[in-house]
Structure 1
């Protein structure tokens, strides 16, 4: 039986579509591949984007900014000495891009200008840190990416 070029093209397209469909079905059905959204309620989060930009600008306009560093004991956040530690309130959200189950939040409650997030709570790799905090009635948002080894 002789196959002409038109039949060969149809067979090639059918094989290619089968190949693509196999991988789409495999990724959708296998729990190893996580297809979750970064933010659960994306559109509700997007409505408040303007407020978020104002808080980021407030943090950017500070003369002395909080310093976020990774060290051997964990993640250290040092607020400026000019701030009264008791008046700083908010939360530090640690977001792990590779695994949503590792995400957690730490409330900001200070007696001195330093907040330590222990390394026992952190696995190695990239962490996105969103620190939402208020001082003297003004809201701030500080975003940082830290790599833990």
Structure 2
């Protein structure tokens, strides 16, 4: 049986469209390729945006801000030394853009000006850190992206 060139072109188009549809359906139904929002409560976070801006301004007005350093034990977060670390409260949020299951929070409980996040909680790759802390009824916010 001979196939003319018109039939061959139609068969190639049908094959190509089937190939594309297979991958579109697979990406939308397979749990391995989930495409979630950046955060679940996006709109609620937008409403508190002005408070975030004010807290970031407060942090930038300090003599020295928070520093983050990668050490052999994990991630060392150093708070400003001119602030009494025993009166400091807040949370440290570590956010993994590629996988929300790796996100976690650490409450801030300091005995010195340093806090260590152990390396067994961190895997290699890009992380976003948000340190939301309060000292003497003043809110401070520190945000940074880093690669561990």
Q: Which interval holds the TM-score relative to the shorter structure?
A: 0.7 to 0.9
- Count of residue pairs the alignment pairs up: 146
Cα shift readout 1:36-81 (whole Å, capped 9, x = no counterpart): 1110021112122222122122212222111111111111111122
TM-score (norm 1): 0.85
TM-score (norm 2): 0.86
Assess if the C-alpha contact under 8 Å between 1:70 and 1:146 holds in 2: no
Cα RMSD for the two superposed structures? 2.1
Match of 1:60 in 2: 60
Who is 2:126 aligned against?
Answer: 126
The corresponding residue for 1:112 is: 112
Is 1:145 the equivalent of 2:145? yes
Please list every run of 5 or more consecutive structure 1 residues that lacks an aligned counterpart in the other structure.
none
Asked if structure 2 preserves the Cα contact closer than 8 Å seen for 1:59 and 1:141, the reply is yes
Partners of 1:13 and 1:93 in 2: how far apart? Answer: 49
In structure 2, the CA distance between the partners of 1:62 and 1:31, relative to structure 1 (3 Å rule), is same
Q: Which residue of 2 aligns with 1:83?
A: 83
Q: Which runs of 5+ in 2 are unaligned?
A: none
2:69 maps to 69
Moved more, 134-143 or 13-22: 13-22
Mapped partners of 1:59, 1:3: distance in 2: 70
